[in-house]
Chains A and B, each alone.
Chain A
Amino acid sequence: MNAASAGFIGCHGCGLLCRMPDPSRHAHCPRCAATLHVRKPNSVARTWALLIAAYILYIPANVLPIMTTSTLLSSQDDTIMSGVIYLWTSGSWPLALLVFFASVTVPLLKLIAMTVLVASAQRRSTWQPMQRTRLYRLVEFVGRWSMMDIYVVTILVALVQLQSLAAIQPGPGAVAFGAVVVLTMSSAITFDPRSIWDPLGDDRA
């Protein structure tokens, strides 16, 4: 039993409980005129759209240089992976692992997690709703820390501007990477976690 199946809807604006005669139709609050919806509108489609965009941009984010370091004598383009390889070959492999984990694995895992969530919600799966909800919370929580790479690049770009001696420029990869992070976060927002539990209600009803 949930609010939707009982034919009720709560207003997001003023908290007024309303009776929803037809849940498939758009409606607005009789008191504050805020738009009422039972679930986040088009949640699955929007999440898919954002996820697909994130997937597409994940490729240039890893292939294109994220940072261009130019010194007096040479200039060097660094992708995320080349940085990881550099750290690994120069011996600081814990740092390499950290960067690899934070910048390559976590975004990818987030994308996969969101894909699993939205796919299962779309198929109205009843499989492990509790675990899926936890996964969703984790993804939402991790999201805000995913911009670390971008922060680092931004700070370096701001700090290392020694004119001709040395300069660091953000590369196109940084933009793509930032877009991936933002899109993943947006997809987590557009996803409605209640849709994980809805199929259970159907079964009971």
Chain B
Amino acid sequence: MPDLEIPDAVLEPPRRRIQLVWIIPIVAAVIGAYIAITTILAQGPTVTISFRTAEGLEAGKTKIRYKDVEVGLITHVGLARDDSGVIAEAQIAKDASNLLVEDTRFWVVKPRVSSSSVTGLGTLFSGSYLGVDVGKSKSARRAFVGLEVPPIVTADVPGTRYVLRSDEIGSLGVGSPLYYRRIEVGQVVSLALDPDGRAVSLQVFVNAPYDQYVTSSTRFWHASGVDISLDATGVKVDTASLAAIIAGGVAFQAPPDLMPAEAAPAETTFNLVADRATAMRHTDTEVLTMQLYFAESLRGLAPGAPIDFHGITLGEVKSVDLEFDPDTSRFNFPVVVDLYPDRLRSKVRGGNMVRPPTEAEEHARLDALVAQGLRAQLRTGNLLTGQLYIALDFFPQSPKTTLDWDQSPPELPTTQGTFGELQAMVGGLTKKLDAIPLDRISKELEGTLADARTLLKRLDADVAPAARDVMGDASKTLQAAQATLASDAPLQADLRQTLQELTRATASMRDLLDYLQRHPEAFIRGKQEDPKK
């Protein structure tokens, strides 16, 4: 072997080579670092959300979605420390961390069926997820209390919230519609009983742009169901839409006769009244309570009956009572009424803002009116039902009286009602009839009749034959006249001939006058020969 001719390898000049292979781990490290850094940077904040139950929450599965965009994932679901609920930990995407502010709300979106709507059907297949409603606050927050019920209105819906106060909620519920001129413009967001249990507060949300119609003078009323009322003005049936009849609703509108007011700020509190009529009634800030005593029966006069002044309702009956006066041992029937002097005043001032009059001025004004004869009177509003109302009117003939302002409530003088008036009139008439001396009249009448009879007898005997003769003569005269006027009578023939002559004469006269008109000189010179001849 060693003897064999073995060539030498050709040596290359020595050179220092950079080990390019080390680029590979460097690249790998760079990629790894890049992935690690981006992962760490992409990791958003972790939040905890507490719920009453973990229904629909699953660690690693339940997503958090805002506007149906996935912004996070529930990473852990566990019991709260005091076992009162569950606490879900969620990883929120980095770019969604600005959603986590003080008033952000979370709730579980799952299929829900309520009287007004069916929501979350999509989650039947995809599984429930957490909905987010981002708040408007600026301060960040990491621990939240989840809502058990999804909010009716999310913060990104433009609109305004208002508070309604009512004695009862009727058939209203969360989600009940809000109507403005029968257009659905909002919803009842929440209901809460006052701490003292005396009233209910409702939060309502009016969607933009309808919230501009909620002004400080806007009235809210229950639009639920059917409202049938029978009063002095007749039968009235008031309903909202069919949906509102079933599900209940709230309607609002400003009274049409008021000046347009400014839009009400958010969270303004309004009263929720029972029906439209009540809502549209004048708001009466000032109430003047007075007492009336009527002589006639008060059957048909119910509390709420209007006080009418020439067709304008100025107040209403508050109560009808019975009181016993031990001094006179008589029963009195005081009718307590509420008068709204405001209504009278608004007509007086004609829309101009005038400072409200003082009490003394008010009293003086009423005193003057009573001095002019202002009286209250019971009148029948509805003949069918016998409903009564109280009318205010001027009776200048009524006996003078003054108001006693020291009395509480002061008494407004009354006068007998139309029915009573009629009674009095009939009574007066009967009295006068009574006063007539019918006996004497009848006797005299008898005598007169006897005289008349003798007169007639005389007429029959003397006048009748003479009259017959006269009639005979008249008949003869008429016959003669008939003969004279007959068509073939000589007088007639003569007359006709004369008339024909007269016609001809008239024609000649017209010719002559024509000629004279054209040739006035003929009057002097006589008729000229026709030059053509």
Contacts and interface: CB of A to CB of B under 8 A. Distances in A.
Interface in A149-205: 172, 179, 183, 190
Interface in B1-43: 6-12, 14-15, 19, 21-22, 24-25, 27-29, 31-32, 35
A46 B11 contact: no
Interface in B81-133: 125-127
Interface stretch (A16-24, A90-98, A116-124): A16-24
B268 to A, nearest CB: 45
Contacts of A42: 19, 21
Contact of A50 (B15, B24, B32, B126): B24
A15 interface: no
Interface residues of A, number: 37
A88 interface: no
Contact of B28 (A18, A36, A53, A73): A53
A9 B25 contact: no
Given A42-B21, A49-B19, A64 B35 contact: yes
Interface string A123-135: 0000000000000
B14 A25 contact: yes
A137 interface: no
Interface in A61-98: 64, 72-74
A31 to B, nearest CB: 7
B9 A28 contact: yes
Contacts of B125: 72-73
A33 to B, nearest CB: 8
Interface in A11-50: 16-22, 25-31, 36, 42, 45-46, 49-50
A56 B19 contact: no
A109 interface: no
A25 B9 CA distance: 10
Contact of B21 (A28, A46, A54): A46
A87 to B, nearest CB: 17
A104 interface: no
Given A53-B27, A56-B32, A30 B8 contact: yes
A172 B25 contact: no
Contacts of A26: 11-12, 14-15
A55 to B, nearest CB: 8
Nearest to B29: A56
A57 interface: yes
Contacts of A190: 21
A30 B24 contact: no
A120 to B, nearest CB: 20
A142 interface: no
Contact of B32 (A22, A27, A31, A57): A57
Contact of A22 (B11, B24, B27): B11
A60 B7 contact: no
A198 to B, nearest CB: 19
A5 to B, nearest CB: 15
Contacts of A30: 7-10
A52 interface: yes
A10 B6 CA distance: 11
B22 A45 contact: yes
A148 interface: no
A30 B8 CA distance: 7
Contacts of B32: 56-57, 59-60
A16 B7 contact: yes
Contacts of A57: 28, 31-32
A74 B127 contact: yes
B10 A49 contact: no
A25 B15 CA distance: 9
B38 to A, nearest CB: 11
B512 to A, nearest CB: 121
A29 B10 contact: yes
Contact of B6 (A18, A64, A74): A18
Interface string B492-530: 000000000000000000000000000000000000000
A95 to B, nearest CB: 22
A18 B24 contact: no
B8 A18 contact: yes
Contact of A25 (B7, B11, B22): B11
Nearest to A59: B32
A46 B22 CA distance: 7
Max chain A C-beta neighbours (<10 A), residue from B8, B21, B28, B126:
B28
Nearest to A76: B61
A45 B32 CA distance: 21
A74 B65 CA distance: 13
A114 B10 CA distance: 34
Max chain A C-beta neighbours (<10 A), residue from B6, B25, B32, B125:
B25
Contact of A73 (B9, B21, B126): B126
B24 A183 contact: yes
B7 A18 contact: yes
A19 B24 contact: no
A56 B14 CA distance: 34
A127 to B, nearest CB: 27
A49 B24 contact: yes
B103 to A, nearest CB: 30
A19 B28 contact: no
28 contacts: A18-B9, A19-B8, A21-B8, A21-B9, A21-B11, A22-B11, A25-B11, A25-B12, A26-B15, A27-B9, A29-B9, A29-B10, A36-B9, A42-B21, A45-B22, A46-B19, A49-B21, A49-B25, A52-B28, A53-B28, A57-B31, A59-B32, A64-B35, A73-B125, A73-B126, A73-B127, A183-B24, A183-B28
Interface of A: 8-9, 16-22, 25-31, 36, 42, 45-46, 49-50, 52-54, 56-57, 59-60, 64, 72-74, 172, 179, 183, 190
Given A8-B6, A49-B19, A183-B24, 6 more contacts: A25-B12, A28-B9, A50-B21, A50-B24, A53-B29, A172-B35
Q: Which 8 A-B pairs have the closest CB atoms?
A: A53-B28, A27-B9, A53-B25, A18-B9, A52-B25, A26-B12, A73-B126, A46-B21
